[in-house]
Each structure stands twice: as C-alpha cells, then as structure tokens.
Chain A
C-alpha cells in the first residue's frame, strides 16, 4: 500500500506552472528524498502534500485518503518545516505540552520521545536557549508525537554543522524503526543518499527521474571518467585550464570543485588514464590522487538540471 500517491499534479502560480505532472509514490515504510536546485518546486510540492497549499489539477492521496480531507489526513502526517519560529518565552515542557494537546498526543508517548531525542535535560529551559541542533530535534520529535504514518521534512538539516547533521540523520533514520515513512527535501546529496530508499530529482516543477540510487545511477551512467585530486584549488584550476586549451577529443566535459578536477570521457580506454597521467607529470602538477569515476547522484543531478554547468568551469 502506498502511503503517499500523487497523480498528474499541476500547480500554477501567476500563470506559470510551478508544478507539472507530478507522479510520485512512497511505499509504506520507505523514505523518499526529493532533490533539486533552489526554486525547482520542492517546497511547493511538500506544502501541497502537507495540505498547506491548494493545487490546480491532479490527485494527492495520503494512505488512500485525498489530502483535502484534512481532519483525517492531519492525523496521518507529521510536518517538519524549513524555517519554523517558536514562542521563545515558553519552556520546552510548556511548548511540548501545547503541541501535544494540539495533536491529541498521549503524554506517555511524549515523554518517551523526549527521552529518545535526548531533550530531557533541556525540558525546563526556555525555547530561546536551545541550540540549532536541539531545536531541529524538537521539531522532528513534535512531528511524530501523534504517531503519524508519513513525515514530511523540508530541509531538516539546513544550516547545521556536519557533526550535528549526522546526529540528526541518526535520529531521522530511527523513525524507520517506528514504521514511519518520510519524504525529505534536501540540497545535501549525501543526506539524500544516506537517508532515503528512493530519490526523486525535481527540476522546473517536474520530476525528471526517480528510483533507487542504483537505478538512477545506472540510467545516467553512460559516461565514464576520472577524478584528479590536486594539492589545492589553484592547482586544480590551472590544470583544468590547461586541458581545456588542449581540446582533447576523448574529454567530453570537465569541472572543478575545490581541489578536484572531474573529467568525463567518451567511453573508457586505459590510454586515457595514461595520457592524463603523462600530461600531469609533464606539467609538474602536484597530484594527490587519481581515481576512476563512478557517476554520483550529484553528477546525475547536475547533468539533469544544468548540463552546461559541467563545462562552464572550463
């Protein structure tokens, strides 16, 4: 049984389609990551699924129930918003109880969740004193206090440092043990790969591809290539400029990110690696590592939403 199903969903904002023909489904217990650039339509889609935004045509079903039936659907969904303010003058305890009454949550469930999320020691503190990571944990905890079947998370770790992000990932992943499904929009590809069973890439209001990580990679991995890690970004840029000048026929595209130069080639031949190695040696580039590429989800994303970006650095 699909916990979420959207069929031919369209949404227009001032005569422009912000969502076009969205067909998505999440099986019960699955996590789906929604990735795409800013303004691609991720938040619009999540707000429609949350029942906060009306759509023009199509269908959105939560556990088989149309999203418009809010009194039933609201019991099935939990929402973690992208930027959510809090009544700062309340304590964690007061706010949790307020939200608990709002969602008819069992006080025992609430206490259990507070313990799991590690917020017990902050229970009597004012909300204004909580750190960014603890606030995010609180939001996630509040979204599941009424035992929903689907949690909708809009960029749940945006703005957090890498350590806290990992802590939040663990917490989000633990929702799976509770049998909760999730749809998570994120800019972080690593987050999408780690947390989700399936990924959907959205661009210009359309889902351009979706499936498991392997399915997506297989679909777009028609190219091979290699990645050269140099000593620093300047060295990487200078190497990129040099190979651009040479106009080597087997190099389809190349780009630079920090100290790495990613070279996508037409097919693969050992001679390509030898040639690149030779060129690096002749130019006396300070090389840390050369590795053959497996197309990542990030590459797929860039390839789909902005193919020119791959060449734009040259």
Chain B
C-alpha cells in the first residue's frame, strides 16, 4: 500500500515535471502566446461584428436563437479547439521526436504514462485558456449567453482531449510535412460536416450519418451548453463523446510509444 502511494506520488511529480517544462517553454515564446490568444479573438470578433444581427438565412425556423452569431459561436469555439489543439500538440510531439526528448522519456525511470498524460494536461490548460478568451470576448462584446457553464467546460475539455489524441496519433507516424497535409485532410471534413455554419439537418439523409462525427457530437453539446438547443439523443451523444475522448488518450499514447521504440 505504502509502495503504491509512493509510486503514485512519483508519477504525479513526473506529470508536474513535464507540464512545468512545457508551460515554461510556452510562456517564453511570444509567438506562441500571441498565436494562441490573438487568432481566436480575431475570429470571434469578425464573426461577432458580421453576424450578431437578427437573421434567419439558412436557419431552421424552430431554432430558438436571437441571431446567427448565437448559432455559429459554439462552432467558432470548436474550430479554435480543433485546429489549435491538433496542430499545437502535433508540432510539439514532432519537435520532441526531433529533439529526442521522447527517447529521454522512454529511457528514464519515469513511467511513460506520466509523459503522455502531462502532454494532454498541458494542452488542455492552453486550449481551455484559448477557449475562455473566446467565450469571454463573445459574452462581453456580443452578448452571448451561456446556459450551462459546467456542461460547457466538460464538452470543451472532451473536444480538447479528442483533438489532442488526433494530433498525437498523426505526429506518431509522420514528419513535419506529412503531418500538416494529413491533419488538414482529416480536419477539413470534420470542420465542414459538423454543422458549424448551418444546422446539420440541412444535410438531409447525410445528416443522419454525420451527426455522429466526433466533432458534430462535440458541437451539439457545446451548442446545448451555450444556447440551450438540446439534441434529441443528448445522453447517447454525451456518452459517446466522453468514451471517444478516453479512447483518444489510450490509443494515440500507445501509438506514439510504438513509433519511438521500433
């Protein structure tokens, strides 16, 4: 029992060690800070100015939204998470691989799980910071209301974890150039088919399939948390989203380890 507690404390110290190093590097890189904070502010501001007028273009009349901005804002937040997280963690892992920091981990006495969990946690911290900046900007300047803040944070975290997994998985088997190409190939369809700019029902029969895309499910929970549009199958969507996020820690983590230790 004592040994287990000690091992757990060592593991926790390991996680903290990696997070600390990652955050130190982040805070010392003005380009990364500006990129993380400014890009989403610009995006939400442009959409806020351009779409916070009452409109019904392309919208289902049954939707209870005051403006197109209310409808599209959760999607804008998801885009931030989708691209920021996948690219952020992917590039970070590729850099770790190039600098052989991942090999340091494999050959150290620290458990590998401490490394991989720390990577997810520091990504979660950075992405949630970015997410909150967008949310606060939208709430302060464009009168966005939030129906359920707890659910919103859970949904955002699940999305961050999922796309961190995507980034780790892709980075495990690619180099810088292939990574950029493959991540675009994967993210662009997820982006366009998840109903960010218009209701997913507009896809007709295709909507029945694409509603179960991870990004579509994450978006429905985000939209539910922010503007209260409840999906018919909320419980199923919520359960699947959480399960997928957990799976996207385990599988990419294992894939990365295998790619280092050939």
Taking a contact as CB atoms under 8 Å apart, the answer to whether A104 and B109 are in contact is: yes
Q: Is B29 an interface residue (CB 8 A)?
A: yes
Neighbouring A residues of B13 by C-beta, 8 Å: 101
Q: Does A98 contact B (CB under 8 A)?
A: yes
The reply to whether the CB of B176 lies closer than 8 angstroms to some CB of chain A is no
Interface readout for A112-148 with B: 1 if CB under 8 Å, 0 if not? Answer: 0000000000000000000000000000000000100
List of A residues within 8 angstroms of B14 by Cβ: 101-102
Bound complex: CA of A51 vs CA of B25, how far in Å?
Answer: 28
Q: Does B10 contact A (CB under 8 A)?
A: yes
Interface size grouping (class) on chain B: 20 to 34
A53 at the interface (CB under 8 A from B): yes
**Is A245 close to B, CB under 8 A?**
no
Contact with B along A41-75 (1 / 0, CB 8 A): 00000000011111000000000000000110011
**A174: CB under 8 A from chain B?**
no
Are A89 and B100 in touch, CB under 8 angstroms? no
Choose from A84, A85, A90, A146 the contact partner of B25 (Cβ within 8 Å): A90
Q: Which residues of chain B in 6-59 are interfacial with respect to chain A, using CB atoms and an 8 Å cutoff?
A: 10, 13-14, 17, 20-21, 24-25, 28-29
Asked whether, in the complex, the Cβ of A98 is within 8 Å of the Cβ of B17, the reply is yes
Q: Which of B28, B98, B99, B107 contacts A89 (CB 8 A)?
A: B28
Task: Find the residue from A50, A102, A104 having the highest chain B CB count within 10 A.
Answer: A102
Closest to A103 in B: B108
Residues of B within 8 A of A90 (CB): 21, 24-25, 28
Please measure, in the bound complex, the distance between the C-alpha atom of A102 and the C-alpha atom of B106, giving whole angstroms.
11
Q: Is B136 part of the binding interface, using a Cβ–Cβ cutoff of 8 Å?
A: no
Give chain A residues whose Cβ lies under 8 Å from the Cβ of B103: 52, 79, 81
Interfacial chain B residues near A109, Cβ < 8 Å: none
Which chain B residues (80-104) contact chain A, with CB distance < 8 Å? 95, 98-101, 103-104
- B261 in contact (CB, < 8 A): yes
Instruction: Report which residue of A53, A54, A85 has the largest number of chain B beta carbons within 10 angstroms of its beta carbon.
Output: A85
- Enumerate 15 A-B pairs (CB-CB under 8 Å) in ascending A order: A53-B262, A54-B261, A79-B107, A85-B100, A86-B99, A87-B99, A89-B24, A89-B25, A90-B21, A90-B24, A90-B25, A94-B24, A98-B20, A98-B21, A99-B104
A residues in contact (CB < 8 Å) with B: 50-54, 70-71, 74-75, 77, 79, 81, 83-87, 89-90, 94, 98-99, 101-104, 146
Kindly report which residue of chain A lies nearest to residue B102, judged by CB atoms: A52
A-B contact count (CB 8 A): 69
**Contact call B21/A71, Cβ cutoff below 8 A:** no
Pairs A-B, 7 closest by C-beta atoms: A85-B99, A89-B28, A101-B17, A102-B108, A98-B21, A74-B109, A89-B25
Chain B residues positioned under 8 Å from A52 (CB to CB): 103, 106-107, 260-261
Instruction: State the CA gap A1–B25 with chains docked (Å).
Output: 44
Out of B17, B98, B100, B110, name the residue touching A81 (CB < 8 Å).
B100
Which of chain A's residues have a CB closer than 8 A to the CB of B25?
A: 87, 89-90
Interface residue B105 (Cβ < 8 Å from any Cβ of A): yes
A53 B104 Cβ-Cβ under 8 A: no
